[in-house]
């Protein structure tokens, strides 16, 4: 039985996915967005996210334009992950909740 937080997260992801699918379909991009291409796009956008940190000191805070650019790359990763989840029929929110539970069991608090 999902808790309130789980239901809210699932609803938010469903709304985002619906809008992404509308954007995709209005441009007739569905055929190109195969699972392989979407998985590759997740990795490519993750690389762009890493670029935002390249040559920065490891503990440097980020703000202003640099933070906005980083947020945009994070969104790109997230968007492709949502599209991939939809294409594969994966409930991404459910998978994340399940993974958190696994991690909590694997690494109990000190």
Residue 93 tokens, joined = 């929110």
Choosing from 9, 76, 78, 97, the residue that interacts with Mg ion (CB under 5 A) is 76
Residue nearest Mg ion, CB atom distance: 76
Choosing from 6, 48, 69, 91, the residue that interacts with Mg ion (CB under 5 A) is 48
Residue written as token pair 């937080």: 5
Residue written as token pair 């998985």: 39
Q: How far is the CB of 98 from Mg ion (least distance, A)?
A: 28
* Sign for the pseudo-dihedral over CA of 3, 4, 9, 14: positive
Residue 49 or 93 having the CB closest to Mg ion: 49
**Residues at the contact surface with Mg ion, assessed by CB under 5 A:** 45, 48, 73, 76
């Amino acid at each position: 039985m999902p808790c309130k937080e789980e239901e809210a997260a699932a609803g938010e992801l469903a709304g985002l996915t619906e809008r992404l699918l509308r954007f995709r379909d209005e441009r007739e991009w569905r055929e190109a967005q195969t699972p392989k291409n979407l998985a590759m796009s997740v990795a490519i956008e993750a690389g762009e996210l890493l670029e935002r940190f390249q040559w920065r000191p490891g503990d440097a805070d980020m703000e202003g334009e640099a933070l906005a650019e980083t947020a945009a790359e994070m969104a790109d990763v997230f968007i492709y992950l949502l599209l991939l989840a939809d294409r594969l029929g994966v409930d991404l929110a459910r998978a994340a909740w399940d993974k958190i539970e696994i991690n909590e069991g694997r690494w109990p608090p000190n």
